[in-house]
Amino acid sequence: MQRLLPDPGPTTVDEQLEGYRPWEEARGERPLVAVNFAATLDGRATIGGVSGPIGSATDTRMLAGLRTRFDAVMIGAGTMRAERYAEIGRRLIVVESGPLGPVDLPALLQTLGEEGVRALLCEGGPRLHASLQAAGLVDELFLTIAPKLSGGEHAPRIVEGELPAIAELELAWLLEEEGELFARYRRR
């Protein structure tokens, strides 16, 4: 794997993640929130209804490595239904509407912070991502861009929902292996 930005040179998933310490950047009461997605070149977040066929084995290693850097993992109910979430070695929080309607995401993050969660990795899906972005609660975005075109009229993009404003991000790192790009963005 090559690191293209910053400081170009050879690297590995483990080496790259070794110095990544999101728990040191908790946002006061709430954890730092990073979101992870894989997408095709035509901007699709699923192939045949799931994310598995998008990324390579290196992408799987990156996700497994990322999980070790976070205190807990959060997903939406749609992702829970579509993907296999067995033992992931981290506390798993599944967000779904209750009888009172949608979950109050700022309040949920505050509660998680009080419970000692300092860094939270959200693994999607696109609608939970939109809810988090709309509430201004996403600090970082890990995006794997697979060198594939998949088409598909109903395949979602990585954000599916209204945002009150355009979210401006800056590129924190960019890695490459066999044409697949691994980007880490920070909210500006």
Ligand X SMILES: NC(=O)c1ccc[n+]([C@@H]2O[C@H](COP(=O)([O-])OP(=O)(O)OC[C@H]3O[C@@H](n4cnc5c(N)ncnc54)[C@H](OP(=O)(O)O)[C@@H]3O)[C@@H](O)[C@H]2O)c1
Where on the chain is the footprint of ligand X (CB under 6 A)? 37-38, 45-46, 49-51, 54, 75-79, 82-83, 95-97, 102-103, 105, 123-128, 131, 156, 160
Residue whose CB is less far from ligand X, 6 or 57 = 57
Q: Measure the CA–CA gap between 133 and 91, rounded to whole angstroms.
A: 22
- 26/75 with CB nearer ligand X: 75
| Minimum distance of ligand X from residue 36's CB (angstroms) | 7
Whole-number minimum distance, CB 177 to ligand X, in Å?
Answer: 17
Using the minimum distance from each CB to ligand X, give the nearer residue, 8 or 179: 179
Tokens of 16: 């790259």
Nearer Cβ to ligand X, position 25 or 78?
A: 78
* Closest separation in Å from C-beta 163 to ligand X: 14
Considering the complex, what minimum distance in angstroms separates the CB of residue 84 from ligand X? Answer: 10
Residue partners of 154: CB distance under 8 A and separation at least 6: none
Residue closest to 20 by CA, chosen among 152, 142, 169, 164: 142
Report the b/e string of 170-187 with b at 16+ CB within 10 A. eeebbbbbeebebbbbee
- Cα angle 135, 137, 141; round to 5: 125
